[in-house]
């Protein structure tokens, strides 16, 4: 039986860097490992200071942990981004439609698709927003000028 190797997003099977990663691969090869550790510690300290954490309740209490991160960026080529962008735009529109419904007609709750208590009893539910019409029905941060959303 042939063992299937894990996909390496940075390198091809022959070990050469994929086009989108070429410059990053070169920089990684030239950068001392001590620099990565220094940058990781600095990022971790910043995450803690800004509260970029999540709580783990299953372990008896609410243990705060850092959101997992990697100081080496995930490179997304232009073609990959175009494919992702369509789905991301769709999801933002869906989330805004959901929030508009929750704060207006609440059809999704009346239809029983989501239990009312999960929404209306959620501490993040803002009763003051019921019936409030937002520009372009966009909740949260407004999209950047020129956005396709």
DSSP conformation letters of 69-129: --SSPPP--HHHHHHHHHHHHHHHHHHHHHHHHHTTT-HHHHTTSS-HHHHHTSTT--GGG
Task: Tell me how far apart the alpha carbons of residues 84 and 99 are, in angstroms, rounded to a whole number.
Answer: 23
List the one residue out of 58, 42, 140, 126 whose CA is nearest residue 92.
140
What backbone torsions phi and psi does residue 27 show, to the nearest 5 degrees?
-65, -40
Q: What is the pLDDT along the chain (149 residues), one digit of tens a residue?
A: 566 678 888 999 999 999 999 999 999 999 999 999 999 999 999 998 988 888 777 656 667 788 888 888 889 888 889 989 999 999 999 999 999 999 999 999 999 999 999 999 988 899 999 999 998 888 875 444 444 44
CB 43 within 8 A of CB 71: yes
């Amino acid at each position: 039986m042939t063992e299937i190797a894990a996909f390496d997003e940075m390198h091809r099977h022959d070990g050469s860097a994929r086009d989108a990663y070429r410059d990053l691969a070169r920089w990684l090869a030239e950068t001392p490992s001590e620099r990565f550790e220094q940058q990781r510690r600095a990022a971790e300290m910043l995450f803690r200071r800004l509260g970029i954490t999540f709580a783990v309740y299953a372990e008896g209490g609410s243990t705060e942990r850092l959101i997992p991160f990697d100081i080496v960026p995930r490179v997304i080529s232009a073609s990959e981004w175009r494919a992702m962008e369509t789905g991301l735009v769709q999801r933002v529109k869906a989330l805004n439609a959901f929030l508009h419904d929750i704060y207006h007609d609440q059809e999704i709750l009346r239809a029983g698709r989501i239990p009312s208590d999960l929404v209306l009893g959620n501490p993040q539910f803002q009763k003051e927003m019921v019936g409030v019409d937002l520009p372009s029905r966009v909740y949260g941060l407004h999209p950047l000028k020129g956005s396709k959303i």
